[in-house]
Amino acid sequence: MKRKVTKAVFPVAGLGTRFLPATKSIPKEIMTLVDRPLIQYAIDEARAAGIEEFIFVTARGKSALEDYFDESPELETSLKKSGKTTLLETLRQTYMDSGAIAYVRQNRAMGLGHAVWCARRLVGAEPFAVILTDDVIAAEKPCLQQMMEAYEETGGNVVAAMEVAPERTSSYGVLDIAEDMGAIVRVKGMVEKPKMEDAPSNLAVIGRYILLPSVMQNLHRAKAGAGGEIQLTDAIAEEITAGNPVFGFRFHGQRFDCGSKAGFLQATVAYGLARGDLHDEFAQYLGDTVAMLKAGH
Ligand code: G1P
């Protein structure tokens, strides 16, 4: 019997320099797609996948993120008084049960692998999920839930995967494929940010992982890899040598790279259009804008 995955790690310690000056005073995870912060999308996806404990690896300057999940009695009273029940419900969905959320500090930025390792005591000897909030995935069935179902079948380590343009491999962890079974791929190696000519494939890792606790032990011994950072990719690749399988999972859904400005804007358009209350006005505006662009304005 595979052990149920109930813990998820959210590495949120990054400085968010690509979004300066906004990130001077707000954590990038609080930046909003329409009206919800990125972190809320990640939490909702984790909840849908059965996660019960949410572990945030934070850093200096992230207190707005920690406060975000608190209850807000003043706002509640005001919304109740004015009879704004829908907003009240929206507000309540952001609350987290006491004890369900934990924060651990990464005191130095040493890479994604190091950030995940900071959560080792809270994770303990259980399989766990990792969600990178920069990767927003719009999907009918949330991506992590799809992966949990795959994990039920495969066990081992499962990473979300997606084909990228060959010239983009240097921005991703890339899978070396042993056996391609369609949605699921058995992996024989992983390389972090290879140059196009060194990439073993163009199947890239996207920021959703289901990992065995042994990955934490690998991280414990880890040395700096690509970019001088401790890489999660290397610790997962080590699993293969140790005889623990690693699978890539081609998820259904559209992934947005909200770590980049262009990706964030694309996500804003997609999520804006998907909202019933905004769709008509926004679609009209976009249509007019595209027509104007086409006409050369
Ligand atoms: C991280 C991982 C990389 C993965 C990517 C997905 O890189 O190190 O393996 O492909 O997330 O978004 P980052 O984007 O943090 O540089």
User: Which structural domains are found in the chain, ordered by start?
Assistant: 7-154+209-244 (3.90.550.10), 261-297 (no CATH)
Q: From the CA of 174, how far away is ligand 1's center (Å)?
A: 10
Q: From the CA of 195, how far away is ligand 1's center (Å)?
A: 14
Contacts of 28 by beta carbon, 8 Å cutoff, 6+ apart: 14, 16, 19, 22, 38, 134, 259
Q: From the CA of 134, how far away is ligand 1's center (Å)?
A: 9
- Verify whether ligand 1 is closer than 6 Å to residue 259 (CB atom): yes
Largest alpha-carbon pair distance within the chain?
63
Q: What percent of the chain has pLDDT over 70?
A: 100
pLDDT at 1: 61
Q: Which residues of 151-175 are buried (b: 16+ CB within 10 A; e: fewer)?
A: beebbbbbbbbbebeeeebeebbbb
The tokens describing 230, both together, are: 């401790």
Over 90: is that where the pLDDT of 71 sits?
no
Q: From the CA of 196, how far away is ligand 1's center (Å)?
A: 16
- Verify whether ligand 1 is closer than 6 Å to residue 204 (CB atom): yes
pTM as predicted: 0.94
**Residue 281 or 96, more confident:** 281
To the nearest whole number, what is the mean pLDDT of the chain? 94
Over 90: is that where the pLDDT of 228 sits?
no
pLDDT at 223: 80
Candidate from 137-146, 201-210, 224-233, 284-293 with smallest mean pLDDT: 224-233
- Verify whether ligand 1 is closer than 6 Å to residue 132 (CB atom): yes
Q: What is the pLDDT of residues 167-199, one digit of tens each?
A: 999 999 999 999 999 999 999 999 999 999 999
- Verify whether ligand 1 is closer than 6 Å to residue 233 (CB atom): yes
Q: From the CA of 94, how far away is ligand 1's center (Å)?
A: 27
